[in-house]
Amino acid sequence: MTGKVFFSVTMTLDGYIAPESSPDDIDALRRGETTPSLKHWMAQWSRLQGWAFGQRFTRQNLKLGEGGKEGRDNAILEQTFHRTGASVMGKRMFDAGEVAWPEEAPFHTPVYVVTHEVREPWERLGGTTFNFVNDGIESALKQARKAAGERDVRIAGGADMILQYLNAGLVDEFSIALAPVFFGRGVSLFDGIDAEKVTIHQTGTESSSKVTHLNYAVVRK
């Protein structure tokens, strides 16, 4: 028996899951520079993800030190982590993470990167291995399902990768942590959704002082 395929993201009230960025921002990260553009991006990202970075589980997983909040937000982050047996992500997300994640990457499971780049698997401390898949999203998901066993596969991002899996009918459920933040512009989660193919129904909602957690199941047609 295989697990479910899901994604879990934080989104602004105006529908963005990441600030607007450019290849120059990733290049600046690689050089260890903090350009005005990158500084602005990081400030926006911190506003969006501030609820998560303040939780005890996130601080422990990212080696940010002791402390952090406990409660329902913390429990949701921990549950999402433990249900995940493997992850799938796009090359753009990997490129940014490669220079931003700590040496002990926060996944602690196999990760399958959908890319045209041919590259040997990259093993990190703590059980994360990045595997590079050159033959499409279905192949990446098949490999991730095998690695995950009975646990679930998380489509980690970015937005384009999530959208490809949604439009292909390969997602079972998803959750959105809706943050009281506006970006005005950025990376839209559902820009390009095939509304004729993708039907959802809400399965739950929870509010905290920081975000509102929205849960949905994807209806098979």
The 10s digit of each residue's pLDDT in 69-85 is 999 999 999 999 999 99
Tokens of 186: 């950025």
Q: Which pLDDT belongs to residue 83?
A: 97
Looking at residue 1, its pLDDT comes to 60
Full pLDDT tens readout for the chain, 221 residues: 679 999 999 999 999 999 988 777 777 777 777 888 888 888 999 999 999 999 999 999 988 888 999 999 999 999 999 999 999 999 999 988 888 888 889 999 999 999 999 999 999 999 999 999 999 999 999 999 999 999 999 999 999 999 999 999 999 999 999 999 999 999 999 999 999 999 999 999 999 989 999 999 999 76
Give 32's contacts (C-beta < 8 A, 6+ positions apart). Answer: none
Query: In angstroms, rounded to a whole number, what is the distance separating the alpha carbons of residues 137 and 170?
Result: 10
CA-to-CA distance for 136 and 116, rounded, in angstroms? 9
Distance CA 99, CA 26 (A): 8
pLDDT for position 148: 97
Strands 152-157, 187-188: pairing kind: unpaired
Strand partners, 46: none
Which pLDDT value is given to residue 64? 83
Looking at residue 25, its pLDDT comes to 76
- Please give the single-letter amino acid code of residue 150: E
Q: Which domains does the chain have, with CATH numbers?
A: 5-219 (3.40.430.10)
Return the pLDDT at 82. 96
Using DSSP bridges, classify how beta strands 5-11 and 152-157 pair: parallel, antiparallel or unpaired: parallel
Residues 142-160, buried b or exposed e (16+ Cβ, 10 A)? ebbbebbeebbbbbbbbbb
So what's the pLDDT on residue 10? 98
Closest C-alpha among 129, 133, 128 to residue 117: 133
Q: Choose among 109, 118, 160, 108: nearest CA to 137.
A: 160
Residue that has been written with the tokens 């989660």 in this structure? 189
Q: Please, are residues 144 and 112 in contact by the beta-carbon 8 Å criterion? A: yes
Give me the helices (H) in the chain, please.
23-31, 36-53, 56-61, 72-83, 91-100, 137-148, 159-167
Look-up: residue for tokens 């921990």?
78
pTM reported for the whole predicted model: 0.93
pLDDT of 26 reads: 73
